[in-house]
Amino acid sequence: MSIAKRTATDMQVAGFRLTKTGIVIDGKPTREEWQEAKHFVDKCHSGAMWWVGDLLNFGEATYDEVEEDGPYDRKTLREAKYVADNVALSIRMDNLTWGHHQLVAQLPARQQVRWLKRAAKDTLTVGEMRKAIRQERLEAERAAAQKPDCEAVGVLLADPPWQYDFAETSSREIENQYPTATPEEIATHLGEWGPDLQDDCVLFLWATAPKLREAMRVMEAWGFEYKTHAVWDKERVGMGYWFRGQHELLMVGTRGTFSPPDAEFRVSSVFRERRDNKHSKKPVCVYEAIERMFPHANKFEMYQREPRAGWTGGGNEV
């Protein structure tokens, strides 16, 4: 098999010259050359989004920039970058489509592997896979909707699964794969399956910049009064519509007469820790700071993704 060669601005595959506007036939290509060219084009079509996403992530990590020019719109670039960043090369399956991988991009790695293997084994279409993931998600939510068996909590940490306005139009298809929720739904979660709270309690609530207003409403609905906030500098520039996002907010609210930490345990309002590739994973330094501030308090993390010593937690990922 011959290798595709670049000629000026075109690609040459056997007797076919691929241009931006079509294919120029050079001579009389054989059937084998025609099949070779078609195989090359098919491979380009199926791999293009992966290539775009991997290159964007490499550019961000290596040169601290994301090239947004090209034939794709911003949402497509955002999606390519996101899926490639969250689905490891080692678990991608070339007998499944890009759409299959989109559906699992926000799931933990072990669930990604499980669903991709199931889709390949049972030859699930993207629609069938979406329906199966949604059903499992609903069952997990029902199982999670139980009051935890723990003592009343004095320190509450929450990273709600905010639902974004672009969910319906973005190819990320968040709603088909990940238990996101509206602010109104999140407002009910504490009462439905959250822990019992002490009369005097502090809330640390994660919010992205576009969700500041919604986070304030949730904090109030949960019975907390806003006090202040800190900022997590992710040390990696992402994408965005107004600014290229590099930070998240950690909002603080209290109920009752909960007192701030002693002066010796107060830390900077800016946390700096490089963002991990795993979706929505929060910085370890924040957990450590809270633990130093309130070493003897009962601590609970809502929407917990990984167990942590000294904390109880709830959510359908633990």
The string of pLDDT tens digits covering residues 187-241 is 999 998 899 999 999 999 999 999 999 999 999 999 999 999 999 999 988 777 7
Q: What is d(CA 303, CA 283) in angstroms, rounded to the nearest whole number?
A: 15
Confidence class for position 143, pLDDT limits 50, 70, 90: low
Task: Tell whether 47 and 74 lie within a shared domain.
Answer: yes
Task: Tell whether 107 and 23 lie within a shared domain.
Answer: yes
Which has the closest alpha carbon to 213: 279, 165, 270?
A: 165
Task: Tell whether 77 and 197 lie within a shared domain.
Answer: no
Domain that includes residue 72, residue range: 5-139
Task: Tell whether 202 and 288 lie within a shared domain.
Answer: yes
Q: What is d(CA 80, CA 253) in angstroms, rounded to the nearest whole number?
A: 36
Which residue spans within 234-278 are E strands per DSSP? 247-255, 270-272
Q: Is the dihedral of CA 203, 206, 212, 215 positive or negative?
A: negative
What average pLDDT does the segment 172-178 reach? 43
Task: Tell whether 81 and 155 lie within a shared domain.
Answer: no
Task: Tell whether 30 and 134 lie within a shared domain.
Answer: yes
Share of the chain above pLDDT 90, in %: 53
Which has the closest alpha carbon to 99: 136, 64, 133, 72?
A: 133
Confidence class for position 279, pLDDT limits 50, 70, 90: low
Give the model's pLDDT for residue 112.
Answer: 94
Task: Tell whether 240 and 261 lie within a shared domain.
Answer: yes
| Residue that is last in its domain, among 139, 164, 184 | 139
Confidence class for position 106, pLDDT limits 50, 70, 90: confident
167 has a pLDDT exceeding 60: no
| Residue that is last in its domain, among 94, 123, 139 | 139
Give the model's pLDDT for residue 120.
Answer: 95
Task: Tell whether 131 and 158 lie within a shared domain.
Answer: no
Task: Tell whether 72 and 214 lie within a shared domain.
Answer: no
Task: Tell whether 215 and 192 lie within a shared domain.
Answer: yes
> Which CATH number fits the domain that encloses residue 197?
3.40.50.150
State the total domains in the chain: 2
Torsions phi, psi of 88, nearest 5?
-60, 145
Q: What is d(CA 154, CA 299) in angstroms, rounded to the nearest whole number?
A: 6
Q: Any idea which of 12-21, 169-178, 200-209 has the lowest mean pLDDT? A: 169-178
Q: What is the pLDDT of residues 300-309, one digit of tens each?
A: 999 998 899 9
Task: Tell whether 107 and 85 lie within a shared domain.
Answer: yes
The CB density around residue 13, as the number of other CB atoms within 10 Å, is 24
Task: Tell whether 59 and 125 lie within a shared domain.
Answer: yes
User: Coil, strand, or helix at residue 302?
Assistant: strand
Q: What is the CA radius of gyration of the chain?
A: 24
Which amino acid, residue 162?
A: W
Q: Kind and range of the H or E element at 213?
A: helix 212-221
| Residue that is last in its domain, among 78, 111, 139 | 139
Q: What is d(CA 209, CA 172) in angstroms, rounded to the nearest whole number?
A: 19
pTM score: 0.62
Does 142 or 51 have the greater pLDDT score? 51
Confidence class for position 264, pLDDT limits 50, 70, 90: very high
Q: Are 144 and 314 in contact (CB under 8 A)?
A: yes
Distance of alpha carbon 142 from its chain centroid, rounded?
22
Which has the closest alpha carbon to 204: 230, 234, 232?
A: 230
Which residue spans within the chain are E strands per DSSP? 5-7, 10-13, 16-18, 23-25, 153-158, 197-207, 225-233, 247-255, 270-272, 299-302, 311-314
